Amino acid sequence: MKETPERKKSWFYKWFLNNQLTVILINIFLVFLIIYLFSKIKFVFEPISQILGITMPPVILALVLYYLINPLINLLEKRFHINRIVSITFVFIIILALLIWGVMSLIPFVQSQVASLVQNWPQYWDSLNKSLQNLFSDPKLHIVQKRLADTNTSITKSFEKSMDQILPQTVNNISSAVGVLTNVVVVILTAPFILFFMLKDNNKFKESVIRFVPNRVKKSVGDMLSEISKALSSYITGQLTVAFWVAVMFFIGYLIIGQRYALILGIVAGILNLIPYIGSTLALIPSLVIAAFIAPSMVLKVVIVFIVEQTVETRVVSPIVVGNKMQMHPVTTILVLLVSAGMYGLIGMIAGIPIFAILKIICTRFFNWFKRNSSWYQDEPLIEDKKTESEDSDDDSSKKIHK
């Protein structure tokens, strides 16, 4: 019986109904259509954004502290066989004692240094301007001197204007300032409770999420959550540890060379070091301004301290503490910082890299799933390979017949 030839397909079927590119474009169009429709009904999601704005700050603070404290709790539980709740309580008591000690001893000293620095900063800035004007006093550098004077005048006017605006706004917006202070207090008070239950339950969050996932993807979703948790833990603990040692190194270096406000400048350097690549350089600016007021030799000493700190940080501290756990190329990191800083400012610069790492893990796993299930990435054997396979099968069949 002869097989009936396949019915001739129309051009519409070939180019639209049975074309993968067309299907992909239609799917992309549907995605953008859904996004457009959501943008038109965004008022529906405003309560959700308000709820997230209220709940996320204490959750984020508790999450950061969780990744710092959880390794110690696990160590006490597994190696010393101490009950988890007892370990958490013991660690909380130690942290509370350290906070009380810091408030009683360090805070007054830091406050006095900050007050003195704020009071003397205009004098330091004027001294730096005079030094730069003397440096460019040569008639040949008249254009540079004029531009420098114009820049200084514009900065001074903008500063005075901002100060004139801040005072009325501060008086008129006392209620908003009280609201911000209340939010900060609420975050500080609620974060420890959230942290306690995070440490107590530990892996129950992962189990509760996987419970709602279909059985066939439970393992992959669990592995993805574990990978995200590991990446966040590595980034948070690594960055905070490096920032601590950067603050210590700057503080010791400034004490050795006799720089004023060594403690506050070291703390500022540690905090700004949370901004990758440019944080320590930003922290160098106020130190150079203060050093220029003291003596030109102090500027050189500050630069030497900065070079030594950068050498120790990049060659010793960062490789040991952080390493390459994020597996991000430096160019990718710089681009992420530029985009996140342009969109969300300082918060974006700090949170851009971990958010990008989470998105990278999700997209990588989705792409791997697509490769496994798509015909685009299934390698078909070559014609010669097919011929050899058919020849081998013919030989095997002939051998069986001969037997």
List, for residues 39-81, the tens digit of each pLDDT value.
888 787 788 888 888 888 899 999 999 999 999 998 888 888 8
Residue pLDDT, tens place only, 250-297 = 999 999 999 988 888 999 999 988 887 778 788 888 888 888 878 778
Local confidence band at 101 (pLDDT 50, 70, 90 cut-offs): confident
For residue 401, being part of any structural domain is answered with no
Which residue type sits at 59? Answer: V
Rounded distance, CA 333 to CA 276, Å? 8
3-class SS of residue 217:
helix
Same domain, 335 and 316: no
Same domain, 150 and 66: yes
**76 is written with which tokens?**
């006490």
Same domain, 232 and 332: no
Same domain, 290 and 330: no
Same domain, 368 and 249: no
Residue that terminates a domain, selected from 270, 301, 325? 325
Residue 324 CB coordination number (10 Å)? 9
* Average pLDDT, integer, range 223-250: 90
**pLDDT of res. 342:** 84
Residue 28 has pLDDT above 70, yes or no: yes
Local confidence band at 388 (pLDDT 50, 70, 90 cut-offs): very low
Q: Report the largest interatomic distance among the alpha carbons of the chain, rounded to a whole angstrom.
A: 106
CB neighbours of 225 closer than 8 A, spacing ≥ 6? Answer: 206, 209, 210
For residue 4, being part of any structural domain is answered with no
Residue that terminates a domain, selected from 325, 347, 363? 325
3-class SS of residue 182:
helix
CB neighbours of 284 closer than 8 A, spacing ≥ 6? Answer: 269, 302, 306
Residue 152 has pLDDT above 80, yes or no: no
CB 74 within 8 A of CB 52: no
CB 210 within 8 A of CB 222: yes
Local confidence band at 326 (pLDDT 50, 70, 90 cut-offs): low
Lowest mean pLDDT among 21-25, 35-39, 388-392: 388-392
Same domain, 125 and 263: yes
Local confidence band at 305 (pLDDT 50, 70, 90 cut-offs): very high
Q: What is the pTM of this model?
A: 0.72
Residue 94 has pLDDT above 90, yes or no: yes
Find the helix packing angle between 46-78 and 174-201, rounded to 10°. 40
Which residue type sits at 105? Answer: S
Same domain, 167 and 90: yes
Count of domains forming the chain: 2
For residue 164, being part of any structural domain is answered with yes
Same domain, 248 and 340: no
User: 79 or 401: which carries more pLDDT confidence?
Assistant: 79
Alpha helices in 258-329 (DSSP H): 262-272, 279-294, 296-312, 318-321
For residue 381, being part of any structural domain is answered with no
Residue 6 has pLDDT above 80, yes or no: no
Same domain, 301 and 367: no
Rounded distance, CA 84 to CA 78, Å? 9
**pLDDT of res. 193:** 92
For residue 44, being part of any structural domain is answered with no
Same domain, 302 and 338: no
3-class SS of residue 337:
helix
For residue 292, being part of any structural domain is answered with yes
CB neighbours of 279 closer than 8 A, spacing ≥ 6? Answer: 269, 272, 273
Same domain, 240 and 94: yes
Same domain, 147 and 76: yes
Rounded distance, CA 76 to CA 217, Å? 34
Which residue type sits at 93? Answer: I
As a whole number, the mean pLDDT across the chain is 78
Q: What is the extent of the structural domain holding 368?
A: 326-372
For residue 284, being part of any structural domain is answered with yes
Residue that terminates a domain, selected from 296, 325, 354? 325
For residue 207, being part of any structural domain is answered with no
Rounded distance, CA 308 to CA 305, Å? 5
For the chain, report the end-to-end CA distance as a whole number of angstroms: 33
